[in-house]
Chains A and B, each alone.
Chain A
């Protein structure tokens, strides 16, 4: 009896094993293939000149200097706007709003819906509101603000989770010692909530830096070096889109630009997880 049981069990066990490992291998292999393809075709074109020189002949030749500058500026505007608003809203939701209150529930629900809205909708909204209504035109500022709107829901929700993950005993013991709410927030809760904030930041920045649809309508196509935030500037993702779809013979530079984008993403991810494990751990312990 025991023998038949183990015999009938073994193939099923094996099948489950193969399925689980097979899907994991498939995902990893797809990613590796993608990455390998990008590195293989792109690496030989990436050089210091490529990173600094302006694009020539619609991007077929030359580099991506101005495009990197525009991308960083758009990202900078996005973070400068979304970080303070995001942290502020997360603090309000997690520390000063009860779970059951109508305001809290409505805000959370809206944020969850917003987080799932397709980026093209944010692009059209940005175009209508920032470019036209506020008169900012096609500019780095419009693009950055639009991205901020897109990143905020993710950033707020994950920072809020960070605050909620802080044990209630910190708040109680701090209050019992006569510490004010502000002090408790700044010195105890905020450092403890930083891992959540970083997760939101990585997800948000990842979404922002790879964004194409929302930026086509807001920051525009212009590949000159921007002179101010009100200039139009081409983001890296738009450059890649343009080179691969609209410019014949632009494939080599498209690959190289993609490689740069992927390296930027990996660098941001790496920095964030390093901060979460080392930098902040030390800070939390020795504030």
Chain B
């Protein structure tokens, strides 16, 4: 495996300001006929989808239709699951994600992931952010301190925690923990953020704060978000994709601009789902 490319040089100056604005329909992730099997049983099959740069794409659909499994293919977390087989093709910025020889560690630095349940490490707030940065080759104390401040400001946590950076992260509230996890992912300057129902384990107030934060990431990051909350998808998404279980496996039913999916769905299943008649 090639060594991890250190995050140095101009890239580190400010993680958030130097990104091009969201260009209309410029794909960054291309998924071609992707299928995933757990021990021979398909989780989803034949998903072909392209994700546009700098936009928020919502994956919606009932439970068990393979949305989360789909996310974990993109950063190869599927490698950790025994008996899991992925076929098809994924390219992210011309990088063939499923190629056997790619640097998975580098890939996962470029593709951040936020889980349903906030999962900060049992370390201090500062160490939660510093530890992955150091692991990816960043050493400068001041540089790290600046990235920590920047990312914490970006997630709106700085004023809440700046006086207790050395207290345990697990002492934060659920919503704060989730924002810390987002900050931890942002600190590594990812290009794509995968979010697996990031608000569903939070109370309504924290959920609103995190949702606003996600909206604020638009244009600077490409966000792929799984959500069961149709109202939320309607509020924040630029694009939407509907997954559904057909013949025992998840399928992609319809994809397109969020406005079109929610207001003029082409597929009758989508129409039934978004109107609340099914799912």
Residues of A within 8 A of B (CB): 98, 167, 169-180, 183, 187-188, 191-192, 284-287
Contact = CB atoms under 8 A, between A and B. Distances in A.
A167 B131 CA distance: 19
B10 to A, nearest CB: 21
Contacts, number: 72
Contacts of A183: 135
Residue among B77, B105, B108, B121 with the most chain A CB within 10 A?
B121
A286 B127 contact: yes
B179 interface: no
Interface in B76-119: 77, 80, 82, 104-109, 112-113, 115, 117, 119
Contacts of B119: 167, 169-170, 172-173
A176 B108 contact: yes
Which 6 A-B pairs have CB atoms at the shortest separation, nearest pair first? A178-B108, A176-B113, A178-B109, A169-B119, A173-B119, A177-B132
B122 A284 contact: yes
B132 A171 contact: no
Nearest to A187: B131
A286 B115 contact: no
Interface residues of B, number: 31
B112 A176 contact: yes
Q: Is the contact region of chain A dominated by helix, strand, or loop, or is it mixed? A: helix
Given A177-B185, A187-B131, 6 more contacts: A169-B117, A169-B119, A172-B80, A178-B106, A178-B136, A284-B122
Contacts of B181: 173
B166 interface: yes
Contacts of A178: 4, 104-109, 132, 135-136, 188
A178 B166 CA distance: 23
Nearest to B111: A176
Contacts of B166: 286
Given A285-B124, A287-B127, A179 B117 contact: no
B168 interface: yes
Contacts of B80: 171-172, 175
Given A169-B115, A188-B121, A177 B82 contact: no
B75 interface: yes
A173 B135 CA distance: 14
A179 B132 contact: yes
Nearest to A100: B82
Interface in B149-174: 166, 168
A179 B127 contact: no
Nearest to B103: A178
